[in-house]
Amino acid sequence: MTGFTRRSLLGMIGTAAGSSAMYYAMASMGHAMSSNYTGPIKLDGDPGNTKVLVLGAGLAGMTAALELRAAGYTVEVLEYREKAGGRCWTLRAGDSYTELGGAQQTVDFAEGNYFNPGPWRLPYHHYAVLDYCRRLKVPLEPFIQTNYNAYVHRGDAFDGKPQRMGKFLTDYRGHVSELLAKAVDQGKLDEEVTADDREMLIESLRSFGVLNDENAYVKGLQTSGYRGYEKQPGGGIDAAPVASDLLDPQQVIQSQLWRYLATHESLEHWAPMFQPVGGMDGIAKGFEREVGDLITYNAKVVSLQQDESGVTVTWEDTANGGSTQTSTADYCVCTIPFSILGQIDHNLSSDLTNVIDSMFYNGSTKVGLEFKRRFWEQDEHIYGGISYTDEAITQISYPSTGYQSDGAAVLLGGYTWRGADTFKFNAMQPDERIEWALRMGEKIHSQYRDEFKAGVAVTWHKVPWVLGCSGVWEDRETQGYEDAIKIDNRVVCAGEHLSYLPAWQEGAILSSLDAISRLHDKVING
């Protein structure tokens, strides 16, 4: 590896696998950090009769409302939707959703089943959101990110047949370890490895790659104990296990299925991960129980104006014929996504306006599919976890709850993240997206068609209250990140788009806590 630097390595990763893979690599190298939350915020000092108007009742907005009221502020919250939570959103049986363009979907799931179109998992090191779950008494359960019995799949690999992740991973690791061990043993890395390290490295490769004493990865009961047996060990007569055949090493390398292996090892996906019991909107409901009395729902903000004495916001009451209303306050915490704020009349500074107008948002599509039975468990012994594919759906995530129960169940049948595939889904009607998910998913699970019951498909560029999945920063320094987070006279912006944890609820909460901390300091100290 002589001559490689972290910068060149990151560049190679970004070129080969895209920006998200490079972010994960940066995280593992310490360039992208886990949450810096250290405990509940302390806003000391008396704000007097200061009123703060919060725009948006997503997690950032409700975090601001909760903490500012606790610190003695008068707080008013305006929310575009009929409910709180923003992208912290769950669809259940009987729910109806209308996307931009007018296409309406009514969720026809069985009672108790649900689908999270937005956030769907919580890393253990997202300390702020986990702390609020504890404080707000939102029960959590494990989210199964990695299941070695799930599949990795590419249409041009192994004749299009999906491979069990654990078998492929073990064979990939074994074949690569054998090559490296042979290179070390033959002295080809003597310039890189000392004599003492040489023996230790070979020993570690034997352990890591399940190699034999000749440093070879071969078929046998030893390797089968890691990749699975052809015939499992049993009891009584004819109980001896039978070793399984190894995948051809050239096929393993050429298949490119190894591209999927590192995802669950990235910092953001380290086990354990969690999910709220009963749906991600359990977090939104937890906040809403505390601050729901401060929220005016169905309030469409049409104007945000400020001067030296305060803030004036004009909004339409969409639940009552669109009548125009006005709210005033001393300060404003604006958590409206920049994709929407750019369409609202405002007199924010030119520096902040430039950032608002130039930010674009990730597109993402998620498809929830309900099936008549849990065939992935009953037929294929997959309990939770994610299968990965080169099809446009990119992945299938199996439910992490309700194991071995009878009746219908919902899985995540597709999750696109930016790119051409997302734009294709954007152009489709909901039933077309569901059909695509079925057509692609049945290449992994042949039971799809016979077992399908109902579906719902949400593409985030058509979600009216955000018009995108998450804010995108290609280069925070040149795009004006510092301008975007500054207190702009009497307005401060917050949200996932104003954090180094974009698209995560942790980023939204941390951004909000930072914004109100600086706003409080201005109120108290001038």
DSSP 36: -
| Cβ(168)–Cβ(257) below 8 Å | yes
Residue 410, pLDDT > 70, answer: yes
CA 399 – CA 370 distance, rounded (Å): 11
149 SS3 class: coil
Confidence of residue 417 (pLDDT cuts 50, 70, 90): confident
* pLDDT at 26 (0 to 100): 40
The mean predicted confidence, pLDDT, of the chain is 93
Residue at 299: amino acid letter? A
At residue 111's C-alpha, the angle toward residues 105 and 117, to 5°, is 45
Q: What pLDDT sits at residue 32? A: 42
Q: pLDDT value at position 8?
A: 38
pTM > 0.85: yes
Distance CA 450, CA 212 (A): 45
Q: What is the pLDDT of residues 47-83, one digit of tens each?
A: 999 999 999 999 999 999 999 999 999 999 999 999 9
3-class secondary structure, 329: strand
pLDDT, residue 78, reads 98
Q: What is the pLDDT of residues 338-390, one digit of tens each?
A: 999 999 999 999 999 999 999 999 999 999 999 999 999 999 999 999 999 99
Mean pLDDT to the nearest integer, 246-257 = 97
Residue 42 burial class via C-beta count within 10 angstroms: exposed 0-12, middle 13-18, buried 19 and up: exposed
Q: Which tens digit of pLDDT belongs to each residue from 192-233?
A: 888 888 999 999 999 999 999 999 999 999 999 999 999 999
- Mean pLDDT along residues 299-313: 98
CATH class of 162-255: mainly alpha
| pLDDT at 265 (0 to 100) | 87
pLDDT digits (tens, 9 = 90+) for 386-397: 999 999 999 999
pLDDT of residue 461: 96
Q: What is the pLDDT of residue 27?
A: 40
CATH number for the domain running over 51-84+282-360+472-525: 3.50.50.60
State pLDDT tens for residues 88-108.
999 999 999 999 999 999 999
User: Which residues lie closer than 8 Å to 34 by C-beta, 6 or more apart?
Assistant: 27, 123, 125, 126, 127, 267
Is residue 525's pLDDT more than 70? yes
Please determine, for residue 14, whether its predicted confidence score (pLDDT) is greater than 60. Answer: no
Could you report the per-residue pLDDT of 125-161, keeping only the tens digit for each?
999 999 999 999 999 999 999 999 999 999 999 999 9
Per-residue confidence at 17, pLDDT binned at 50, 70, 90?
very low
What pLDDT score was predicted for residue 192?
86
pLDDT of residue 333: 98
Supply the pLDDT for residue 395.
Answer: 97
What residues contact 229, with CB distance under 8 A and at least 6 apart? 221, 241, 242, 243, 244
- DSSP secondary structure of 276-313: ETT-THHHHHHHHHHHGGGEEPSEEEEEEEE-SS-EEE
Percent of the chain with pLDDT over 70: 94
- In the block, tokens 């930072």 appear at 514
The confidence score (pLDDT) of residue 194 equals 86
CATH 3.90.660.10 fits 91-149+271-279+362-462, yes or no: yes
Domain ranges, ordered by start, for the chain: 1-33, 51-84+282-360+472-525, 91-149+271-279+362-462, 162-255
For residue 172, the model assigns a pLDDT of 97
- Chain centroid to Cα 181, Å, comes to 37
pLDDT digit string, tens, across residues 448-489: 999 999 999 999 999 999 999 999 999 999 999 999 999 999
